Structure 1
């Protein structure tokens, strides 16, 4: 493998843009080592500042897989990346000895055929640079062409080299792997139009394993075409199968297919088709994916990201928001909030660039980012965005619109969660009145607003005002959706919690139990809402001194949360904290301490040190330490 081709491959692997690739290849090309940035910038027809900016971006891309590049010294970055690239290049040469190359070719081609033209066979190995991939391609090609002489094959390869070199000389950034490129050209000519198109489609996938489940395709004709294309690509070693539904496309083969795609008249159509395929997969990501969802979706994520990163222009306006939001949900559900934030920020930037600053889709994107900030305790940032969204919606839609009611509600709930009750109350009341006016008294959104206003009254100790709102919401849900519905369970749970706060435990317990049984029946035993109900019931048992009943409920809630959310989720931290508090109250300090520590570690890592939940857990742990060590 030539060094310049290796650099081009590394550029593709790390998703560098065309400008970044040009700067990267120039900077690290052997002939340019030691040259000043000014001279290199001149070669690229950019000023030194622009060149340095491009290289900073390059370092940032490589730093994702090579953290040592996060050092601040630019010269240190250069030296470290040079060393990294050199080590990787030497380890990836993967060139066989001449005898080993012949041995590989003999394993692929009928021995008698090679013996008849042994000298030519050795020349072919040398021509191909003793590269395993090139030998594999040629061997599979010969297997399909039993009457082709090796001498004729060698002439074909030599002709392809001359043709390819002419193209490469006209495009200095075009990747060219001696041996592999010529062998690929021969294999390409053996493919029918269907297999060629499918190979080009696969080349748009990320540099990762490719999940292909043909059986899930409902269109029988399309399924058959895909099956035939996969079989043809496998036969010529242009695609490898790793397991029943997982395939691998060699990075260089991927680049060569991409070149074919860009030269074709179907490039835009194929990219649109691929983007649509990945969008359909992204739509399968629920707002709160469980571990099974995450396991099943993980193989698809790199390819969805490939669309988000490089092919977003082939998505419609609304679909753009869908793709980025789904990616954010995937990461947010695992407590990976920084990644989730990145995708939502990119969504805002793309929609603004495409549609302008004042468009409903931009507003939707801003609102989703505000929700993420709120959930991670970044309340000042969430507030600013919620206020911006509210003003934009009023300006774009007028004051009497349901989206305005939603924004009033969101901002009101944010104020409520941060204890700013006087500011929250008028907003939540306006949201309720607006929904009643636009939707009538009998609507699910009205029931939701009643519950939120009840929550505010409950938070401010106005229990007599909260109770009728919770009761109205419960009755409204029952009338609108029937008694057997998750929203009814939530309303039962809200009312029961209010009764607990006011010491009416005998009234709360049957409601908590109804909510738990309803959730189990409607959602199944393995659902996060079931864990919430178990936790609430355990708290009631603890409040009434029934510790032997509280402990198993807390444990069930904790284990269920871990199974559904993973070990490092804020809800798991809350369950750990609750169980630790129970052990503390019962004097079982040895059991309490590690649970408090685990809860605090999870909260600090996922929510940050200033989040109210983190501060509550930290205070509980501090009180425990004072109690047990003084």
Structure 2
């Protein structure tokens, strides 16, 4: 297989559109590696902006199957993709020299056996085009058939080719699962109104239409005819496949639906002992014939070409739909294990499964109901969102919203949940202008279907009010929050946790507008209500103590704020454990109080603890880590320790640019802080 055909196959495998495929093949063709984007775009007769947009989309599609690609910085993305493609091409198609091919075959087959039919052995190597994978398959097959002569083996290979040529005179096209299909997707829960975050956390032009050059159309055709039975691999595979029993074949077909990534297989979790034994035997049989590769304990991999050949077998069988439905259901159950709030252990355990869940989301969505597809997509989004990888999370949540545009069979809660989930992501990344219309849609839908006097309406009002507050539109937020408070009091009574939450939100708004005298009694009411309803040993009590302490800081009542911050910190450590992100928030807030009061020696270790905690819990590339870096850098700037401040500002800026984008408000704030620091430190 030539490099160009390999690229075309990769384009088809990853479901690239026609325009994306054209840009992808043009960019990575060997003769074009020295050309810049403008030259490549000109050769395709498109605008440079369009070409770059398509290449960005190409990378994102590959990154969906391979999460390790998603963490590259923007400048190194396509270089990393080039390295990935080159490594994969070499591993698939590293054609050997004749002598090296014979040497490989000798390592797989008893020497005396080859010596007896040395000439035939050389003919077999030539028939197999000196392809290592094909030689491996034949060698393992011969090992299973000790009395089979090489002459007979060669005849069987030749017969397989003749059989294929009679059935498919012009080559049997190999097709992937197809383009992104709108399938039918369990109900994803509508997020409840979250308790307010602790105060004190600072944080293309249009293109012309175009026609594809002839070489592009040829490339697309080649993508569907790569397995043309000329390399000998398919014949070698056929002999090995026929040697498997039905159980092993069925298991192989199931595995072929996995993504092109490591496959985690833990059979000990299977409760049915008979089924466990059958799966163990199937794996052993596939390994023995080299149709499956073992990487390490409970981790396996299918060669991409073997995977395609097995998929061909599956697609021709009468059980194809049943197998695909079964695989989709299996991946759905794994996806359900993804929590909305991830910890490092979750990330470690779930990462190996993500490419295979993604494979279902992209290629097998039609085998899930709408409700189940929404659940799977939402869980995928949570996996990335929980790590601060908002750009990777967004497409899945957008897909959920698109499904609900045709809400046949979907309930009101499904539609509102998906609008809220996507809006919450936009809110988390401070894209308030995009979040606002989604929250408005959710509110209008809730009112229309449920009436004005419903708790879901109160939740939607609260969500919309938050956007108004975040964008400084306090006069619009205030009546909504007041309406939410009155609605909840009327429907739930004054002694309810949702009423305590509303009191806190309204107090936060008054605080934001400098109306501290109005905010303070609301915080105090909320605090007393929390204590009565859930007891003094509760995380929400700690949060309210923290918020009230922050208000005292704003009014320079530091002596009143300090004991409350300390109570909140100790309460969180006791209730949540020392390894919790809310503990990091309290450490940060107490450090700020020490900084405000000139106790820099006490502030520094708390900032450092908060930073290390956020790194452990969220990973080194999370936006919250950037904020902690910024806070510590600001402290060093204030005490003139410029050498320590500079790398921290730089790290913070780099993380935000990578995770949030260069134009995000948090990124711009940290960039401004860094610029101000440079002016002060070096002028």
Same fold by TM (over 0.5)? yes
Partner residue of 1:343? Answer: 396
Shift, 1:198, TM fit? 1.2
Compared with structure 1, are the counterparts of its residues 542 and 513 closer, same or farther at alpha carbon in structure 2 (3 Å cutoff)?
same
Q: Aligned to 1:241, what secondary structure does the other structure show?
A: strand
Q: Does the 8 Å CA contact 2:92/2:303 hold for their aligned counterparts?
A: no
Partner residue of 2:192? Answer: none
* Between 343-352 and 136-145, the greater mean CA deviation after superposition: 343-352
Compared with structure 1, are the counterparts of its residues 147 and 574 closer, same or farther at alpha carbon in structure 2 (3 Å cutoff)?
same
Compared with structure 1, are the counterparts of its residues 86 and 169 closer, same or farther at alpha carbon in structure 2 (3 Å cutoff)?
farther
Q: Does the 8 Å CA contact 2:20/2:58 hold for their aligned counterparts?
A: no
Q: Does the 8 Å CA contact 2:633/2:648 hold for their aligned counterparts?
A: yes
Q: Aligned to 2:296, what secondary structure does the other structure show?
A: coil
Partner residue of 1:72? Answer: none
Paired with 1:168 and 1:591, the residues of 2 have a C-alpha distance of 69
What does residue range 284-303 of structure 1 map to in structure 2 within 5 Å?
284-303=337-356
Shift, 1:552, TM fit? 0.9
Compared with structure 1, are the counterparts of its residues 432 and 609 closer, same or farther at alpha carbon in structure 2 (3 Å cutoff)?
farther
Compared with structure 1, are the counterparts of its residues 270 and 283 closer, same or farther at alpha carbon in structure 2 (3 Å cutoff)?
same
Partner residue of 1:508? Answer: 561
Compared with structure 1, are the counterparts of its residues 239 and 354 closer, same or farther at alpha carbon in structure 2 (3 Å cutoff)?
farther
Paired with 1:229 and 1:448, the residues of 2 have a C-alpha distance of 55
Q: Does the 8 Å CA contact 1:101/1:132 hold for their aligned counterparts?
A: yes
Partner residue of 1:395? Answer: 448
Paired with 1:451 and 1:280, the residues of 2 have a C-alpha distance of 37
Partner residue of 2:77? Answer: none
Partner residue of 2:143? Answer: 143
Compared with structure 1, are the counterparts of its residues 566 and 227 closer, same or farther at alpha carbon in structure 2 (3 Å cutoff)?
same
Paired with 1:363 and 1:410, the residues of 2 have a C-alpha distance of 12
Paired with 2:254 and 2:91, the residues of 1 have a C-alpha distance of 30
Shift, 1:18, TM fit? 10
Shift, 1:394, TM fit? 1.7
Partner residue of 1:116? Answer: 116
Compared with structure 1, are the counterparts of its residues 132 and 353 closer, same or farther at alpha carbon in structure 2 (3 Å cutoff)?
farther
Paired with 1:605 and 1:91, the residues of 2 have a C-alpha distance of 31
Partner residue of 1:95? Answer: 95
Partner residue of 2:166? Answer: 166
Paired with 1:255 and 1:303, the residues of 2 have a C-alpha distance of 16
Compared with structure 1, are the counterparts of its residues 142 and 485 closer, same or farther at alpha carbon in structure 2 (3 Å cutoff)?
farther
Paired with 2:309 and 2:324, the residues of 1 have a C-alpha distance of 16
Q: Does the 8 Å CA contact 2:128/2:134 hold for their aligned counterparts?
A: yes
What does residue range 207-286 of structure 1 map to in structure 2 within 5 Å?
207-286=260-339
* Between 332-341 and 126-135, the greater mean CA deviation after superposition: 332-341
Name structure 2 gaps, 5 residues minimum: 30-44, 46-50, 64-80, 174-223
Q: Does the 8 Å CA contact 1:358/1:392 hold for their aligned counterparts?
A: no
Partner residue of 1:517? Answer: 570
Paired with 2:552 and 2:311, the residues of 1 have a C-alpha distance of 64
| 2:581 is the alignment partner of 1:528 | yes
Partner residue of 2:418? Answer: 365
Q: Does the 8 Å CA contact 1:204/1:258 hold for their aligned counterparts?
A: yes
Partner residue of 1:176? Answer: 228
Paired with 2:671 and 2:98, the residues of 1 have a C-alpha distance of 66
| 2:629 is the alignment partner of 1:576 | yes
Shift, 1:180, TM fit? 1.4
Aligned length: 592
Q: Aligned to 2:291, what secondary structure does the other structure show?
A: coil
Shift, 1:574, TM fit? 2.0
Partner residue of 2:238? Answer: 185
Compared with structure 1, are the counterparts of its residues 148 and 5 closer, same or farther at alpha carbon in structure 2 (3 Å cutoff)?
farther
Compared with structure 1, are the counterparts of its residues 60 and 568 closer, same or farther at alpha carbon in structure 2 (3 Å cutoff)?
closer
Q: Does the 8 Å CA contact 1:454/1:467 hold for their aligned counterparts?
A: yes
Paired with 1:604 and 1:99, the residues of 2 have a C-alpha distance of 52
Paired with 2:560 and 2:168, the residues of 1 have a C-alpha distance of 80
Compared with structure 1, are the counterparts of its residues 358 and 281 closer, same or farther at alpha carbon in structure 2 (3 Å cutoff)?
closer
Partner residue of 2:603? Answer: 550
| 2:669 is the alignment partner of 1:588 | no
Structure 1 residue corresponding to 2:386, chosen from 333, 357, 370: 333
Paired with 1:373 and 1:448, the residues of 2 have a C-alpha distance of 22
Query: How big is the alpha-carbon RMSD for the aligned residues of Structure 1 and Structure 2?
Result: 3.7
Q: Does the 8 Å CA contact 1:489/1:519 hold for their aligned counterparts?
A: yes
Higher share of residues assigned helix: 1
Partner residue of 1:465? Answer: 518
TM-score normalized by the length of structure 1: 0.84
Paired with 1:377 and 1:99, the residues of 2 have a C-alpha distance of 62
Compared with structure 1, are the counterparts of its residues 440 and 166 closer, same or farther at alpha carbon in structure 2 (3 Å cutoff)?
farther
Partner residue of 1:70? Answer: none
Paired with 1:610 and 1:99, the residues of 2 have a C-alpha distance of 58
Compared with structure 1, are the counterparts of its residues 440 and 315 closer, same or farther at alpha carbon in structure 2 (3 Å cutoff)?
farther
Paired with 1:282 and 1:537, the residues of 2 have a C-alpha distance of 38
Deviations 1:192-244 (A, max 9, x none): 22211111111111112222222333443433332222111111100001111
Partner residue of 1:9? Answer: 9
Paired with 1:11 and 1:622, the residues of 2 have a C-alpha distance of 43
Partner residue of 2:189? Answer: none
TM-score normalized by the length of structure 2: 0.78
What does residue range 317-328 of structure 1 map to in structure 2 within 5 Å?
317-328=370-381
Shift, 1:611, TM fit? 4.5
Paired with 2:366 and 2:468, the residues of 1 have a C-alpha distance of 38
| 2:153 is the alignment partner of 1:153 | yes
Shift, 1:386, TM fit? 1.4
Paired with 2:561 and 2:674, the residues of 1 have a C-alpha distance of 29
Paired with 2:277 and 2:623, the residues of 1 have a C-alpha distance of 46
Q: Aligned to 1:242, what secondary structure does the other structure show?
A: strand
Q: Which has the higher contact order (CA 8 A, sep 6+)?
A: 2
